[in-house]
Amino acid sequence: MEPNSSQLSDDKRLRSFGYEPQLDRSMGAWNSFSISISCMCVTAGIFTTYAYAIGLVGPIFVWTWLIVSIGQIVIALVLAELAGRMPISGYAYQWTSRLMNSHYGWFVGWLGLMAFIPGFTGLNFGLAPVLLNVLGIEPSTTTVLIVVFVVTLSQLAINVAGVKIASKINSGVAFVVEIGLSVVMTVILLVVGFITNPVQSPSFLTTNSTGGSGLITALVLSSLLAMWVLTGFEGAADLAEETKMATHHVPQAVIRSLIFAVVIGFAMIIAFTINIPDVSEAASGGPSYILESALGHAGATLFEGIAIVALYAGGLANMAAASRLTFSMARDNMLPGSKTLQKVSTRRAPAAALYLVTGIALILALLGNYVSAEAVGFIVGMAAVGYYGVYGLTVLAVIVAARRGGLSEDSGFSLGKYAGAVRLVALVWSAAVLVCLIVPEGNRKPAMVGVAFLVLATIWWVAVLRGRLSRGEAGVPASLIVDEDPNAERVLTN
């Protein structure tokens, strides 16, 4: 069968960046949207962190969602524009390496790994107690860890089988669970909480449990829920080399998935919060306690089942994104063992990279489970620091490149005359969130682990990578200028 014209165009564009197509380009617009939906995994993310947020400050935390949403939409606009310019696996690592240099891109890519790997590990930690509760098994350190290991290894098996299988699972989950059942169940909860069986008045949503002391700090800490859940929307960009018409479909997936997550996520946390009979019980029992109170055992079990499926798919998608970033960096000889990590299996999946990120995730699970009293908060905090570090450094690279006149106008998505203002707001927002994630004492442990990760990155850069880059043995290849005339076959060196 002859490849279609869009496939030829996608492959030609990839070659213009210096790479031969290796991965399976089989994803369409819906698959791309589904990947970003699953990477954010709004239902699962809320299930994972809701008890943590409500326990810190009480019902008033729900309004932090709207503040974080505005900032994230601004960041998404900047990233969507880059995805339309450079549809390459490795997303921010590739973007910043080409906008600045590969030295800069190395640290951005490393932070990306610190976001995606703890990201899917945290989702699997969130899945474990919900699944154990449905099975009637008492969650403990050991049982939670066993579930995390089994789930992670099963996600590895699916991803190694190829992107077609993984994308079909994510597409099905996005449609049935995130867009279908989650919306229906959220509407039911809203009707119960506000109309048929209200246990609280609407003013309950403005109350706090701090007694006025330390309210601002508590709000900042509780906003970690929104700061973490509303990340990963750029996951579609990391699988751009497996997406058809990537310059158009990927930017759309980035924006649309985030807007969907903002709307359904806010409705969901309002629905949970307005149905709380007792805040202290909700802080310990989380969504399961609220659902049991509002919908009874059958309704709670159904919603928990939805969360389990969403959590699983979210872990699957984030593992895929982490492996593509690893593959992209290894392809440029940026990592230890790059020759092995850049290999693609017969199913056109980066199998070696998948094995590596899974191994790191399992080690992280052990550390999180036995070192930290709050494993989920610890791992989620790490991921959040990684995500916003990537966002801030990427936006900074765009601003610098634009001022130098080194930003191509060729993009499937453009901010036009508003680009400069949007980028500046995105940079300020990213910096503000990083301060919120690092300065409060409650976030110090994840922040210190993030610093340790950066120290490791610096040691590798000083000892090995800097030399490789200076000798031209590593780093992104030079971009080429490709004639877009379909009858032309000229490829010109930039």
Helix (H) or strand (E) holding 125: helix 102-135
Q: Does residue 421 carry a pLDDT above 50? A: yes
- In the predicted model, what is the mean pLDDT of residues 18-41? 82
473 confidence band (pLDDT: 50, 70, 90): very high
- Residue range 206-212: average pLDDT? 76
Has residue 354 got a pLDDT over 90? yes
- The fraction of the chain above a pLDDT of 70, given in percent, is 88
Mean pLDDT of the 87-102 span: 91
- Residue range 423-429: mean pLDDT, rounded: 96
Does residue 179 belong to any structural domain of this protein?
yes
Residue 341 clears pLDDT 60, i.e. is over it: yes
The closest alpha carbon to 327, from 356, 347, 361, 359, belongs to: 356
Look at residue 191 in the predicted model and tell me its pLDDT.
94
374: domain CATH number is 1.20.1740.10
75 is a domain residue: yes
pTM of the model as a whole: 0.85
Quick check: 38 pLDDT over 60?
Answer: yes
pLDDT at 491 over 50: no
Residue with tokens 């549809």: 87
Q: Judge whether 121 and 151 are in contact, CB under 8 Å.
A: no
Res. 374 pLDDT band, cuts 50 70 90: low
Q: Name the DSSP letter for residue 462.
A: I
φ and ψ at residue 165, rounded to 5 degrees? -65, -45
> Average pLDDT of 95-110?
93
pLDDT value at residue 443: 66
182 is a domain residue: yes
In a domain, 341, yes or no: yes
Residue 439's SS3 state is coil
What integer pLDDT is reported at residue 211 of this predicted model? 62
> According to the model, what pLDDT value does residue 2 have?
43
- Model pLDDT, residue 486: 41
Q: Is residue 429 part of a domain?
A: yes
Is pLDDT of 237 > 70?
A: yes
493 has a pLDDT exceeding 60: no
State yes or no: pLDDT of 7 exceeds 60: no
Higher pLDDT among residues 442 and 449, named by residue: 449
Write the pLDDT tens digit of every residue in 120-170.
888 888 788 888 888 888 888 889 889 999 999 999 998 888 766 766 776
Is a pLDDT exceeding 50 seen at residue 395?
Answer: yes
- What residue numbers bound the domain in which 198 lies? 10-15+24-407+416-466
Angle at 471 between CA 468 and CA 473, to 5 degrees: 55
494 — pLDDT class (breaks 50, 70, 90): very low
Distance of alpha carbon 459 from the chain centroid: 26
SS3 category, 46: helix
Does residue 48 carry a pLDDT above 70? Answer: yes
pLDDT attached to residue 96: 94
Q: State the Cα angle at 387 between 255 and 55, rounded to 5°.
A: 100
In this predicted structure, the answer to whether residue 411 has a pLDDT above a threshold of 80 is: no
Residue 40 placed within a domain: yes
Q: Is the pLDDT at 94 greater than 60, yes or no?
A: yes
> Total structural domains in the chain?
1
Say whether pLDDT at 468 is over 90. yes
Contact predicate 233/72, CB 8 Å: yes
pLDDT at 37 over 60: yes
- 372 found inside a domain: yes
Q: CA-to-CA distance for 406 and 177, rounded, in angstroms? A: 43
Distance, CA of 187 to CA of 191 (rounded, Å): 6
CA distance 31 to 122: 23
Nearest to 80 by CA among 324, 412, 391, 430: 412
- Determine the Cα–Cα distance for residues 463 and 2; give it in Å rounded to an integer: 47
pLDDT given for residue 213 in this prediction: 56
Q: 3-class DSSP state for residue 154?
A: helix
The answer as to whether 54 is a domain residue is yes
The better pLDDT of the pair 388, 3 is held by 388
Helical packing angle, 375-404 and 64-85, nearest 10°? 50
